[in-house]
Amino acid sequence: MIRTQLEVQNELGIHARVANRISSCCQKFSSQIEAENGSAPMDMKSVLNVMILNVKCGEALTVKIEGDDENEAFVSLKELFDNKFGER
Amino acid sequence: MVGIGVVDGIAIQKVFIYSSAPRDGRRLEYLGAEQEGARLASAFGTAEKQLAATAERLAREAGEDEAGIIEYQINILRDKVFADKIAQLVVGGASCEDAVTAVCSEYCEIFGNLDNDYLQQRKIDIIDIQARLLGILGGREGFAVAGRPAIIAAEDLAPSQVAEMDPKRVKGILLEKGGKSSHSVILAQSLGIPCIIGLTGLLGRLGGHETVIMDGSAGTVTIDPDAKTLAAYRRQLEKDAEAKKSLLAYVPIVPATRDGVRVNVYANIASAVETGPLLESGGEGVGLLRTELLYMGFSDTPSREAQFKAYSKIAESLGQRPLIIRTLDAGGDKEIPYLGIGEEANTFLGYRAIRYCLDHEALFKDQIAAILQAARHGNVKMMFPMIATMDELFKAKALVAETKAELLSRGVAFADVPIGMMMEVPAAALMADLFAKHVDFFSIGTNDLAQYLFAADRNNGKVAYLNSFYHPALIRCVNAICAAAKGNGLEVDICGRAGEAPDLIPLWAAMGVSGLSVSIPSIPAVKKAVCETDTAASSEILAEALQLSTAQEVLDCIKDVNGGILTAL
């Protein structure tokens, strides 16, 4: 199991287009991927959950990844967050 | 019933209710887990197909960015957590309709309670999906259902719903909620679909089979009218149709006054889908592209690339006709939650337009770059809104210069554009002669200029009466701006509603206004008013009007300006 903090660094924080990218990225992996932001853990394969996490620029999500491809999933997610989801 | 009429025109049609839930709250019969499960799966499949088709069409016609929000909705349909919640309720004995309604309401409540304006607003996507699923489950297929001409009645309309509308069949729009400057309303204006908003309690009075008369100019709705009323409105409708038909002759005409003064007739638009109707109505270009709508409603902050595509698409479809792109005019009554402008006691006097953009250089430069890049694809000009002081203009121009340098150093192709400014703040109007030395053109935004001149909020019904386009103060102010422009060899347009008032057009022509940018449906009538003007005669009336002291006196004075053959819009 991988437990990590991922910081949201794009100016606008998580919005619809970013939520599309995050949930689509998670759906590519069989591992269970959950995140919390001062809330109960939420399944990040759900685009609505990713929106509801309500993460703004500069805030970090606690992410838990568990499963056969957890390492690959972590690398992909980390890259997505570090690239600011392709935004500013 | 009386609401707020936002798009003029009369419509008499059977009503088509676009509601998000069964209105009588009756529980639908449960057909058993297996059958309900099959209905649910098929509804999700159909919804996804519909949305995919809309996304594809939007990407083609309006730019990929506008399609982005539809893709988000597709992702919601594919959201396992969302779908499983509904499926579980269905297995537990709920009809598909009840289950969809329950789960969507739950999500709406969650979104509504988040301490984030943007996310609260995105509740609309859930409502949109709920309406779509219920429509499909009820045997309706979105707006395609209104196979017959109809007046659409709804609580509010979401972006995807407006995008699906066929203006040939949707004869009118009635909304319980709705905002004057919402995308739905602005699109309805462009398409010339009569529209009334703020009709609280409307859906409760409708069963779906009623004939409805709506009068967009008066804001009135008559449900199941008696024969006498119906006949009276039919006559009015015929008269309006005839008047419209007689105006068609003006569509291909190049508008000039009787004594040969050329006045361009442009349109105000907000999206690429409007360029078709613009050209069909004889518009000679775009005098005002409101870019706010790219930022609000349909999508999130559009990327530089998305803006470039959207602007180039419009520029290309206009050919050599001018396209004046106004940089972001956020704030005022145009709320864009994710920009974080925040609540203000008086938004019109607050943090809006150029004031916000100068404070957010990255965002502003993205837009400037997109405009410069798009300029290679047409006759593009750039215009800054709400300039009050010379400092603001210099800062904005410096950012344009910086952006150009950056594009050059990165080897990105762009074209130079003329730079103009809106004349809508009285402080700038008073200094017009000096501003004229630093810009290539002016465009007078009469709606805002009036409200700032008279210190009367144009959205406040109690004081809005003060904002008269016929008041000598406004006439003098516009005249002074035009004189400053002419003195410096600048073109000056009018892009507010005063530009489409046929009885004022002779005065604008006499002042030397070079272009009138108006709503698409009024283009033919504006061309007609231009053609009937004689500037020698209207100059005399202008001189007289400039000496008058009340709006009523001006109205009396200009009554016969075009030989008394004025046609009301």
What are the residue ranges spanned by the domains of chain A?
Answer: 2-86
Domain containing B548: what range? 251-558
Residue B564 lies in a domain: no
Mean pLDDT, residues B269-292 taken together: 92
Residue B455 lies in a domain: yes
Taking residue B123's Cβ as centre, other Cβ atoms within 10 Å add up to 17
Q: How far is CA A2 from CA A25, A71, B82, in A?
A: 17, 8, 26
DSSP code, position B166: -
Residue B448 lies in a domain: yes
Residue scoring higher pLDDT (B427 or B94) = B427
**Mean pLDDT, chain B, as a whole number?**
88
Q: How far is CA A1 from CA A4, A73, B183, B427, B480, in A?
A: 10, 11, 46, 64, 73
% of chain B residues with pLDDT over 70: 90
Residue B71: which pLDDT band, with cuts at 50, 70 and 90?
A: confident
Q: Flag if B114 and A52 touch (Cβ within 8 Å).
A: yes
A15 is catalytic: yes
Contact B284, B266 (CB under 8 A): yes
Tokens linked to B220: 């009135």
**What is the number of residues in chain A?**
88
Contact B538, B507 (CB under 8 A): yes
Residue B321: which pLDDT band, with cuts at 50, 70 and 90?
A: very high
Q: Between A23, A52, A88, which is nearest B362 by CB? A: A88
Rounded to the nearest angstrom, the minimum Cα separation between A4 and chain B is 23
B536 shares its domain with B487: yes
B312 shares its domain with B341: yes
Residue B64: pLDDT over 70: no
Residue B23: which pLDDT band, with cuts at 50, 70 and 90?
A: very low
Tokens 């709320």 belong to: B335
B266 shares its domain with B194: no
Rounded to the nearest angstrom, the minimum Cα separation between A22 and chain B is 11
Residue B566: pLDDT over 60: no
Rounded to the nearest angstrom, the minimum Cα separation between B535 and chain A is 52
DSSP 3-state of B83? helix
Distance, CA of B315 to CA of B413 (rounded, Å):
16
DSSP code, position B303: P
Residues of chain B with Cβ-Cβ distance to A19 below 8 Å are: 72, 75
Contact B9, B216 (CB under 8 A): yes
Is A44 an 8 Å CB contact of chain B? no
Residue B220: pLDDT over 80: yes
% of chain B residues with pLDDT over 90: 59
Q: Flag if B81 and A43 touch (Cβ within 8 Å).
A: yes
Q: For residue A59, with 0-12 CB atoms within 10 Å meaning exposed, 13-18 middle and 19 or more buried, which class applies? A: middle
Residue scoring higher pLDDT (A40 or B301) = A40
CATH number for the domain including B417? 3.20.20.60
- From B22-26, B93-97, B229-233, the region with the lowest mean pLDDT: B22-26
**The CATH number of domain A2-86 is 3.40.50.970:** no
Q: How far is CA B89 from the centre of its chain?
A: 41
Mean pLDDT, residues B227-243 taken together: 93
Residue B182: which pLDDT band, with cuts at 50, 70 and 90?
A: low
pLDDT of residue B158: 62
pLDDT of residue B282: 96
Mean pLDDT, residues B554-568 taken together: 66
Q: How far is CA B53 from CA B48, B56, B113, B130, in A?
A: 9, 5, 32, 18
Distance, CA of B377 to CA of B424 (rounded, Å):
29
Tokens linked to B81: 């957590």
DSSP 3-state of B478? helix
pLDDT (tens digit per residue) in B442-481:
999 999 999 999 999 877 777 878 888 999 999 999 999 9
pLDDT of residue B35: 87
DSSP code, position B302: P
Q: A55 to chain B: nearest residue by CA?
A: B116
- From B9-23, B126-140, B276-290, B298-312, the region with the lowest mean pLDDT: B9-23
Give the helix ranges, DSSP H, for B432-559. 432-435, 446-453, 472-487, 505-511, 523-531, 535-545, 551-558
DSSP notation for B11-76: EEEEEEEE-SS-TT-PPPPP--HHHHHHHHHHHHHHHHHHHHHHHHHHHHHT-HHHHHHHHHHHHH
Rounded to the nearest angstrom, the minimum Cα separation between A12 and chain B is 7
pLDDT (tens digit per residue) in B334-348:
777 778 788 888 889
Is residue B159 within a helix (H) or strand (E), and if so which, with residue range?
helix B159-164
Q: A19 to chain B: nearest residue by CA?
A: B72
Is B303 an 8 Å CB contact of chain A? yes
B43 shares its domain with B189: yes
User: Which site among A9, A11, A14, A15 would you substitute to test the B interface, given the most B Cβ atoms closer than 10 Å to its Cβ?
Assistant: A15
Give a three-class secondary structure readout of B480-497.
Answer: HHHHHHHHCCCEEEECCH
Residue B289 lies in a domain: yes
Residue B34: pLDDT over 60: yes
Is residue B173 within a helix (H) or strand (E), and if so which, with residue range?
strand B170-175
Dihedral angle of Cα B346, B347, B353, B358, to the nearest 10 degrees: 60
DSSP code, position B460: -
Chain B neighbours among A 19-38 (CB < 8 Å)?
19-20, 23-24
Is B122 an 8 Å CB contact of chain A? yes
Q: Flag if A11 and B71 touch (Cβ within 8 Å).
A: no
Residues of chain A with Cβ-Cβ distance to B300 below 8 Å are: 12, 15-17
Residues of chain A with Cβ-Cβ distance to B306 below 8 Å are: none
Tokens linked to B313: 């698409």
pLDDT of residue B19: 60
Distance, CA of B370 to CA of B400 (rounded, Å):
11
Residue B69 lies in a domain: yes
pLDDT (tens digit per residue) in B503-544:
999 999 999 999 999 999 899 999 999 999 999 999 999 999
Tokens 């210069």 belong to: B401
Residues of chain B with Cβ-Cβ distance to A52 below 8 Å are: 110-111, 114, 119
Q: Flag if B116 and A56 touch (Cβ within 8 Å).
A: yes
DSSP 3-state of B201? coil
Q: For B302-344, where are the E strands, in sequence order?
A: 322-326
Cβ contacts of residue B519 below 8 Å, gap of 6+? B189, B190, B267, B268, B500
- From B132-136, B140-144, B223-227, B425-429, the region with the lowest mean pLDDT: B140-144
Tokens 């999130």 belong to: B300
Residues of chain B with Cβ-Cβ distance to A38 below 8 Å are: none
Distance, CA of B507 to CA of B475 (rounded, Å):
9
B215 shares its domain with B293: no
B225 shares its domain with B348: no
pLDDT of residue A69: 94
Query: Which residue in A3, A15, A28, A78 is the catalytic one?
Result: A15
- In 3D space, the residue among B136, B51, B73 whose CA is nearest the CA of residue B100 turns out to be B136
pLDDT of residue A25: 94
Tokens linked to B376: 């290679």
B213 shares its domain with B258: no
User: Which site among A14, A27, A51 would you substitute to test the B interface, given the most B Cβ atoms closer than 10 Å to its Cβ?
Assistant: A51
Rounded to the nearest angstrom, the minimum Cα separation between B416 and chain A is 25
**Mean pLDDT, chain A, as a whole number?**
92
Q: Flag if B68 and A88 touch (Cβ within 8 Å).
A: no
Mean pLDDT, residues B219-246 taken together: 93
Residue B396: pLDDT over 50: yes
B389 shares its domain with B531: yes
Cβ contacts of residue B546 below 8 Å, gap of 6+? B472, B475, B476, B479
Number of domains in chain B: 2
B20 shares its domain with B155: yes
Residue A11: pLDDT over 90: no
% of chain A residues with pLDDT over 70: 100
pLDDT of residue B118: 83
DSSP notation for B221-240: EEES--HHHHHHHHHHHHHH
Residue B121: which pLDDT band, with cuts at 50, 70 and 90?
A: confident
Contact B484, B437 (CB under 8 A): no
- From A47-61, B1-15, B141-155, the region with the lowest mean pLDDT: B141-155
Distance, CA of B405 to CA of B368 (rounded, Å):
12
Q: Flag if B122 and A43 touch (Cβ within 8 Å).
A: no
Rounded to the nearest angstrom, the minimum Cα separation between B102 and chain A is 16
pLDDT of residue B567: 37
B426 shares its domain with B482: yes
Cβ contacts of residue B29 below 8 Å, gap of 6+? B95
- In 3D space, the residue among B215, B212, B178 whose CA is nearest the CA of residue B198 turns out to be B178
Q: Which of B182, B197, B232 is the last residue in one of the domains?
A: B232
Q: Supply the ipTM of this predicted assembly.
A: 0.92
Q: How far apart are the first and last CA of chain B?
A: 24
B386 shares its domain with B278: yes
Tokens 């329950």 belong to: B102
Q: B306 to chain A: nearest residue by CA?
A: A87
DSSP notation for B229-274: HHHHHHHHHHHHHHHHHHHGGGTT---B-TT--B-EEEEEESSGGG
Q: Indicate the residue type of B123.
A: K
Tokens 């009756």 belong to: B26
Contact B191, B167 (CB under 8 A): yes
Contact B309, B294 (CB under 8 A): no
Distance, CA of B144 to CA of B146 (rounded, Å):
5
Tokens linked to B499: 């530009």
DSSP 3-state of B412? coil
Contact A56, A13 (CB under 8 A): yes
B159 shares its domain with B192: yes
